[in-house]
Structure 1
Amino acid sequence: MKSLVASACITAFLLLGCGASPSNTGTPPDDTGTPPTGGDGGTQPVVTKSAKRGIAFDFAAPADLAAVAPGVSWWYNWSTRPHANIPSDYRARYGMDFIPMLWNGNFDAASTESFLKAHPEIQYLLLLNEPNLNDQARMSPQDAAKLWPRYESVAANTGVKLVGPAMNWGTLEGYSDPVVWLDAFYAAYRGANGNRAPRIDYLAFHWYDYGLAGQLDRLKKYGKPFWVTEFANCHSQKDGAQIDSVAKQKAQMADMVAVCESRDDVFRYAWFTGRWTNDPCFASLLGAPGTLTELGAHYLSLPHR
């Protein structure tokens, strides 16, 4: 979804996720989830939190980052840099990592690699945001197969692991089903590369309805662990199951987080989103600057493995 001003994208029964425009960082937290010593000269309280748990949001205020830090280990903003307002020592201050994204093929490999080499703590790179949505990266499987070696070259030259493409149910004609798009992508890549499979270290997925576990099960055929890089329940049909209150979203959040925490094949997950203008899904984790909503406090409090 668009990072701050998302509009609902509905296809059939599903409200689809979208992502922000591209523009070019991060490493996962220590698997203990324990924040390090603060960079401001003090020491943060030792708080055990989920290494998996993240937020899809362009944090533009340190106070917002501080508010979620006790229970969140990472974030991304559909770009390759944190917002300019975020202090450079955010890892030490907040015990959170920023994960960069190459949103489509519009990137300079030399500058990207230079940046990654200057930040060896960065271990992962998110790729290709919702290629089967017309208002997102919008790319045919064949064009994505031609692009992919550029991503692989960045990984080979820097040591990062590749996370993507970030699939959703989409609006690209003939490819609304992520499995149909991925099957065609794999076939096109193999056909152009001597039957070699593309370098994909983790597959990313977005989901905005009931049935997350079943959707992930459909993608197990590719043999990759998952990053669920956008999720919330935005079921809007007036069928009795619509999400029309914070209480209903809290229940769905608990269910979806439990799925992600319990599955060994889910490596990371990120709630959408921090703060959403005219929030149609009661999904915002932040209210006033530096203040958690009821849902935000719930997200931080949910149990983890």
Structure 2
Amino acid sequence: MGWWYNWALDPASSVQANPSIAQAMTHVPMLWNFNFDSAQVIAALKARPTVKHLLVLNEPNLKTEANLKPAEAAALWPRYEAIAAQTGVQIVGPAITWGTMDGFADPVVWLDAFYAAYRANNGGRDPQIDALAFHWYDYGLGGQLDRLKKYGKPFWVTEMANWHSQADGAQIDTAAKQIAQMADMVKTCESRTDVVRYAWFTGRWDNDTHYTSLLAGTGALTALGQSYKQQPTS
């Protein structure tokens, strides 16, 4: 792994206290929604001059996540832009996916409305989005990314796994099926020039019903983790 994130502005203190971890992998900070103090964020980023990217707005069209309608996000987006202007970081987000918000479950529908609202608020100017983040938990990652190509942004696939659970014969109900899906998703990301970074979700689960844990314990990889380690990376 060359980079990681934890949905927070800073890594855990236990990581910061371990130089072998902190120096081996790049931590990418995130502003999960708009509940932050701009001055505090700017100070934190300036204290870490090696930080070049800032993840923002986690799954805005999910009611259980950031839960912001397009117009609400558009009105607040300049707060991210102001931080980028003062620190030089690139804005990566929103982290969009298929959601649960009435009328905006489709990520394209949410983004179209977001762009329209932002342009209306800012004299026709597009929002600063240096890369678009995307999350996916089913078959067809490539097709989903193709739907988002019209925005003209590189992609960070910041969460991916296959949690297909419908009893239709394609459900992921064994580790072997998840391993096959992981290899397919990595192949998709590695073969696309518009995918800049990607991250498997996730390291470890207490109740791993989806067979997505990469770690079986401290220093021990699952079969999925072993397979992930063997995948090609560029």
Structure 1 position 271 matched with structure 2 position 200: yes
What's the counterpart of residue 4 of structure 2? 75
Task: Map 1:44-123 onto structure 2 (within 5 A).
Answer: 72-88=1-17, 90=19, 95-123=24-52
SS in 2 for 1:237: coil
Residues 181, 91 of structure 1: CA spacing in aligned structure 2 closer, same or farther, 3 A cutoff? Answer: farther
Runs of 5+ unmatched residues, structure 2: none
C-alpha deviation, 1:129, in angstroms: 0.2
Runs of 5+ unmatched residues, structure 1: 1-71
Per-residue deviation, residues 10-63 of structure 1 (Å, max 9, x unmatched): xxxxxxxxxxxxxxxxxxxxxxxxxxxxxxxxxxxxxxxxxxxxxxxxxxxxxx
Identity %: 62
C-alpha deviation, 1:245, in angstroms: 0.8
Task: Map 1:15-26 onto structure 2 (within 5 A).
Answer: none
Per-residue deviation, residues 264-300 of structure 1 (Å, max 9, x unmatched): 1000001000011211210000111221111111111
Task: Map 1:260-299 onto structure 2 (within 5 A).
Answer: 260-299=189-228
What's the counterpart of residue 168 of structure 1? 97
Task: Map 1:122-271 onto structure 2 (within 5 A).
Answer: 122-271=51-200
Q: Give the distance between the partners of 1:235 and 1:265, measured in 2 at CA.
A: 25
The structure with the greater share of residues assigned to helix is 2
Letter in 2 for 1:285: L
Q: Give the distance between the partners of 2:180 and 2:144, measured in 1 at CA.
A: 19
Q: Which has the higher contact order (CA 8 A, sep 6+)?
A: 1
Q: Give the distance between the partners of 1:168 and 1:210, measured in 2 at CA.
A: 13
C-alpha deviation, 1:91, in angstroms: 6.5
Q: Give the distance between the partners of 1:124 and 1:259, measured in 2 at CA.
A: 23
Q: Give the distance between the partners of 1:94 and 1:258, measured in 2 at CA.
A: 27
Q: Give the distance between the partners of 2:21 and 2:225, measured in 1 at CA.
A: 22
TM norm structure 2? 0.97
Q: Give the distance between the partners of 2:22 and 2:129, measured in 1 at CA.
A: 32
Residues 252, 90 of structure 1: CA spacing in aligned structure 2 closer, same or farther, 3 A cutoff? Answer: farther
SS in 2 for 1:189: helix
C-alpha deviation, 1:241, in angstroms: 0.7
Q: Give the distance between the partners of 1:89 and 1:108, measured in 2 at CA.
A: 27
Q: Give the distance between the partners of 2:141 and 2:75, measured in 1 at CA.
A: 30
Letter in 1 for 2:157: V
Q: Give the distance between the partners of 2:95 and 2:7, measured in 1 at CA.
A: 11
C-alpha deviation, 1:88, in angstroms: 4.2
1:90/1:96 contact within 8 Å kept:
no
C-alpha deviation, 1:205, in angstroms: 0.3
SS in 1 for 2:190: helix
